[in-house]
Structure 1
Amino acid sequence: MQRELGERGGERTTFAQTLNTLKHTGSNLLLVGRGGGAHGTACRRLRGESRGESRYRVFVTDDARCCYHDHEAEDVTTAIVEYSGPSSSDSGVGDGSEEALCQLVTDVIDTVEEFEDEADGFEPSELRVCVDSLVPLLQQYDTEDVFRFVHVTTARIEQARGMGHYHLPVSRDHDAISLLEPMFDAVVSLRTRENVHEQQWHLRDQGTTTDWIQL
């Protein structure tokens, strides 16, 4: 993830240093934009592809068949925490019970802690967590409850010095993004143009936005 992403001179160096810091101290990224293929490509990068490097991966999803989760069935270092998306009988936003979302939080935290015990403590960026996606949660639960879910899980990932990314495939100006953005180290906009997947990073602490660059 430390490719040149369009920054120049000192800004490019600062950006690369920031990414390196995020990998070592723990980070959480919010992936936005409607380019589904771009989300898949970014997800594969962020969950860690390097062979020979230890990784513990947790996928939080309402669809375990999603192509993002193409892991080997016998892979004991990968776990899927599945939740139920909104059903056709739901009458609207906020129909899900707070207890169900609290249980999802518990399941995610328990899974992380089980892996942490197994690893005898995580190395930096050894834990990778993918939440795919926040849209069903926002459809089914009150916004404040989803905010708490994100707050707790991002804090635990950072505590473990892991790397978490949360898919929110909506436009960059969606109201939900302004609500959730403060809990993330960066918002990564994704798009596909002429069959080319591209990304643009906005680093909150630096207030820095990169150019668009191919994934």
Structure 2
Amino acid sequence: MEDEGGRSAPVRASVTRALGTLKREGCNVLLVGSEATSAHETVCRQFLGASAAEAPFRLFVRAVGQRETDQASCGPVDESETDRVQTIECASATLDPTTASAIGALGIEIVEAIDAFADSAAGGNSDGGLEPASLRVCVDSLGPLLEAYDAEAVFRLLHVTTTRVDQADGIGHYHLPIAPDHDAVSLLEPLFDAVVTVRTRDGADEQRWSLQEADAPTDWLAVSAGQRS
């Protein structure tokens, strides 16, 4: 039997299993979609987790450009938890496209922040560390970085970041508010477990997942403001 999107029950079941595995074991997700600010914000909150108990460690990387559309839309939900919630700011004015050292330093700062979270979670126990999905990373957005640096430099930064998130079994999502058929999406897609396209239709936020392990994307799914990963 096929659903309205033309997908058979086994395909739907396979996608459901893959999504469940990603949420349990951690993943890196590229979040794309232009002119969909509301949907980006809603899905961002979904990835960040419902509470500090569910996702006690949160890292925000805010790359802000000069254009109004480059302004970061996500931020810490509880800035009082400074030992478990960190924000790394990088504005276009501080990005130097003539040297790779600045973007390299950003990668080091991200890795060191996650290392500090892991040390905090271990509590001095060498066998301890971050529990699966307890680390949530939000990068908002990749647009200013792609404007300031060539795509290869951004690719290297994301390779370092996604690798460290994978090692921590964390859930990282990376905003890129452009169309899903943009060349940059094709270049960066191999680094991610999934690409999620978001849109707003008739006032409702929707998402569509394209998983590396699936042959076809999911149907458009409603995004509930209360839904969490």
Q: Normalised by the size of structure 2, how large is the TM-score?
A: 0.83
Q: Within 2, Cα distance between the matches of 1:52 and 1:75? A: 12
Asked if 1:182 corresponds to 2:177, the answer is no
Q: Within 2, Cα distance between the matches of 1:73 and 1:52? A: 15
Q: 1:204-215, aligned counterparts within 5 Å?
A: 204-215=212-223
Asked if 1:159 corresponds to 2:167, the answer is yes
Asked if 1:193 corresponds to 2:195, the answer is no
Q: 5+ unaligned residues in a row in structure 2: which ranges?
A: 65-70, 123-128, 224-229
1:82 to 75, 89, 96: 89
- Residues 70 and 160 (structure 1), Cα distance of their counterparts in 2 relative to 1, 3 Å cut: closer
Asked if structure 2 preserves the Cα contact closer than 8 Å seen for 1:94 and 1:142, the reply is no
Q: Within 2, Cα distance between the matches of 1:11 and 1:110? A: 40
Q: Within 1, Cα distance between the matches of 2:112 and 2:48? A: 19
Q: Within 2, Cα distance between the matches of 1:158 and 1:178? A: 21
The equivalent residue for 1:73 is 79
The equivalent residue for 1:36 is 37
CA drift of 1:129 comes to 0.4
CA drift of 1:86 comes to 5.1
- Residues 13 and 60 (structure 1), Cα distance of their counterparts in 2 relative to 1, 3 Å cut: same
CA drift of 1:71 comes to 2.0
Asked if 1:109 corresponds to 2:111, the answer is yes
Asked if structure 1 preserves the Cα contact closer than 8 Å seen for 2:194 and 2:211, the reply is yes
Q: Normalised by the size of structure 1, how large is the TM-score?
A: 0.88
What amino acid is aligned across from residue 75 of structure 1 in structure 2?
E
Asked if structure 2 preserves the Cα contact closer than 8 Å seen for 1:123 and 1:161, the reply is yes
- Residues 118 and 33 (structure 1), Cα distance of their counterparts in 2 relative to 1, 3 Å cut: same
Q: Within 1, Cα distance between the matches of 2:101 and 2:72? A: 26
Q: 1:7-26, aligned counterparts within 5 Å?
A: 9-26=9-26
What amino acid is aligned across from residue 118 of structure 1 in structure 2?
S
CA drift of 1:184 comes to 0.5
Query: Which contiguous aligned blocks of 4+ residues in structure 1 show a shift greater than 3 angstroms?
Result: 5-8
Q: Within 2, Cα distance between the matches of 1:33 and 1:138? A: 16
Over the matched positions of the two proteins, sequence identity in percent amounts to 42
Stretch of structure 1 that moved more, 199-208 or 31-40 = 199-208
Asked if structure 1 preserves the Cα contact closer than 8 Å seen for 2:72 and 2:141, the reply is no
What amino acid is aligned across from residue 136 of structure 1 in structure 2?
P
Q: Residue 13 of structure 1 aligns to a residue in which SS?
A: helix
The equivalent residue for 2:56 is 55
Asked if 1:143 corresponds to 2:154, the answer is no
What amino acid is aligned across from residue 32 of structure 1 in structure 2?
V
Q: 5+ unaligned residues in a row in structure 1: which ranges?
A: 88-92
Q: Residue 173 of structure 1 aligns to a residue in which SS?
A: coil
Q: Residue 165 of structure 1 aligns to a residue in which SS?
A: strand
RMSD across aligned positions (CA): 2.2
The equivalent residue for 1:119 is 121
Q: Deviations over 1:117-159 (max 9, x none)?
A: 0011011100000110000000001111000001110011011
CA drift of 1:6 comes to 9.9
CA drift of 1:81 comes to 0.8
Asked if structure 1 preserves the Cα contact closer than 8 Å seen for 2:165 and 2:172, the reply is yes
What amino acid is aligned across from residue 75 of structure 2 in structure 1?
H
Asked if structure 2 preserves the Cα contact closer than 8 Å seen for 1:6 and 1:12, the reply is no
Q: Within 1, Cα distance between the matches of 2:117 and 2:109? A: 12
Q: How many residues align?
A: 205
